[in-house]
């Protein structure tokens, strides 16, 4: 991806997503379609973005038995998304099945395999939340454990928070793609994000792509906001 900005289209319906995307398509690298938009508008929203030539990151965070996740990954690969997410806490066999489904389906279709990104520990969870689910590691320890399991499974990318990039870069293969939300341009509103980095800081720390929502989607001029973030990277 030449342009590392992925815009999170956290919007309620297809019409508003498509309207915004049209203004942003020349200044961003990809569009992230998440659970709200996908559930409201269905796979057609992905087809519309692909028909317009835009790259799509389908963020549905699959987590199920290996067979079911593999089938969902196959369906997403057929939709021709460029990236998608699964939960690494689904285990080694689930991740292996997901990666294999992406590779094999893409091969059948004669396309590059989409990047299956592993999500480790949700940033909304602290040590107490983890303990309630029976995990007695700190979030940082658990992120490290799951990230290494993801690398062992053959996944080629991970979603990680800005705070995790440096530590992960030390232990992961250098080819592992790190996609990072929690990005705030200098001087912008934090919203509910507590630990942020600027776009430049995140790239310098080793992120390959940045997921940015409200600083772009909530700007008076979203196109200018995205362009200014892009400029800040050079």
Are residues 18 and 223 in contact, defined by beta-carbon separation less than 8 angstroms? Answer: no
Q: Active site includes 32? A: no
Token pair in block for residue 66: 């290996």
Token pair in block for residue 139: 């979030």
Instruction: Give min distance, CB of 34 to ligand C5P, in A.
Output: 5
- Regarding 7 and contact with ligand C5P (CB under 6 A), the answer is no
Q: Applying CB under 6 A, which of residues 146, 211, 225, 226 lies at the interface with ligand C5P?
A: 211
CA dist 26 → 140, 159, 179, 212, 230 (Å):
37, 24, 20, 16, 11
**Helix runs in 63-198, H state only:** 66-78, 92-109, 127-132, 139-153, 165-171
Crossing angle of helices 92-109 and 139-153, in 10° steps, is 40
- Regarding 114 and contact with ligand C5P (CB under 6 A), the answer is no
From 130-138, 144-152, 162-170, 206-214, span contacting ligand C5P (CB under 6 A): 206-214
Q: Applying CB under 6 A, which of residues 27, 29, 30, 34 lies at the interface with ligand C5P?
A: 34
List the catalytic residue out of 32, 61, 100, 170.
61
Q: Nearest CA to 11 among 48, 47, 49, 41?
A: 41
- Regarding 142 and contact with ligand C5P (CB under 6 A), the answer is no
Site mask, ligand C5P, residues 214-233, x = CB under 6 A?
Answer: xx------------------
- Regarding 86 and contact with ligand C5P (CB under 6 A), the answer is no
Active-site positions?
61
């Amino acid at each position: 991806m030449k342009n590392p900005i992925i815009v999170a289209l956290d919007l309620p319906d297809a019409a508003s997503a498509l309207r915004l995307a049209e203004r942003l398509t020349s200044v961003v690298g990809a569009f992230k379609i998440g659970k709200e938009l996908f559930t409201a508008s269905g796979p057609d929203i992905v087809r519309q973005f692909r028909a317009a030539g835009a790259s799509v990151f389908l963020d549905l965070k699959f987590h199920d038995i290996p067979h079911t996740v593999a089938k969902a990954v196959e369906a997403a690969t057929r939709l021709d998304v460029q990236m998608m997410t699964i939960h690494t806490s689904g285990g080694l066999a689930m991740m292996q099945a997901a990666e294999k489904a992406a590779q094999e389906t893409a091969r059948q279709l004669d396309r590059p395999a989409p990047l299956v990104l592993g999500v480790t520990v949700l940033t909304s969870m602290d040590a107490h939340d983890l303990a309630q689910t029976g995990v007695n590691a700190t979030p940082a320890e658990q992120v490290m454990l799951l990230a290494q399991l993801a690398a062992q499974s053959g996944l080629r990318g991970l979603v990680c928070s800005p705070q995790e990039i440096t530590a992960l870069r030390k232990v992961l293969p250098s080819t592992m793609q790190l996609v990072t939300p929690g990005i705030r341009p200098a001087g912008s509103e934090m919203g509910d994000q507590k630990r942020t980095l600027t776009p430049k800081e995140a790239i310098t720390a080793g992120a390959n792509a940045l997921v940015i929502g409200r600083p772009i989607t909530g700007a008076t001029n979203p196109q200018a906001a995205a362009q200014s973030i892009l400029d800040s990277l050079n």
